[in-house]
Amino acid sequence: MSLKEQITEDMKTAMRAKDSERLGTIRLLLSAMKQKEVDERIELDDTAVIAIVDKLVKQRKDSVTAFTEGGRIDLADKEASEIKVLEVYLPKRLSADEVMVEVKAVVAELGASGPGDMGKVMGAVKAKLAGKADMGQVSAAVKAALSGA
């Protein structure tokens, strides 16, 4: 079963269970997926779905930070619960050590050295680790690897 089919089935399950919070979040995800399909006239594969989920999770994390700073804990809690629903559809995340190992392998493979190669390395690492790691963490690992090289 593809990820897209799994999400649709989860929506039906949430409907039957009358789980309105989960249902709303899943509908939001399905809407974003449908929008991407219509805009680009493509059929989404699992990789594209993971990219959409990753983007939505990042937006929610940014919102949690903003709401917390603004004193709106109620809204921050709502966004945090949506993150939990969305993260179910992401593959297992790599640890910081695993990310660093992958980054060092790409740096060695490209023969990169110094901060000037940051863009080249980030492009390669992003393609390799899309959906598997937080890109903020990846960026920090690339900076560390290039400064130590």
What would the pLDDT profile of 37-49 be if each residue is shown by its tens digit?
999 999 988 888 9
Q: Which amino acid is residue 22, in one-letter code?
A: R
Class assignment of domain 3-87? mainly alpha
pTM of this prediction? Answer: 0.77
CA distances from 122 to 58, 118, 144 (A): 18, 6, 12
For 1-54, what is each residue's pLDDT tens digit?
Answer: 889 999 999 999 999 999 999 999 999 999 999 999 999 999 988 888 988 998
What is the rounded distance in angstroms from the CA atom of residue 142 to the CA atom of residue 51?
Answer: 20
96-148: which CATH number, 3.30.365.10, 3.90.1010.10, 1.10.10.410, 3.30.565.10? 1.10.10.410
For 57-102, what is each residue's pLDDT tens digit?
Answer: 999 999 999 999 999 999 999 999 999 999 999 888 877 778 888 8
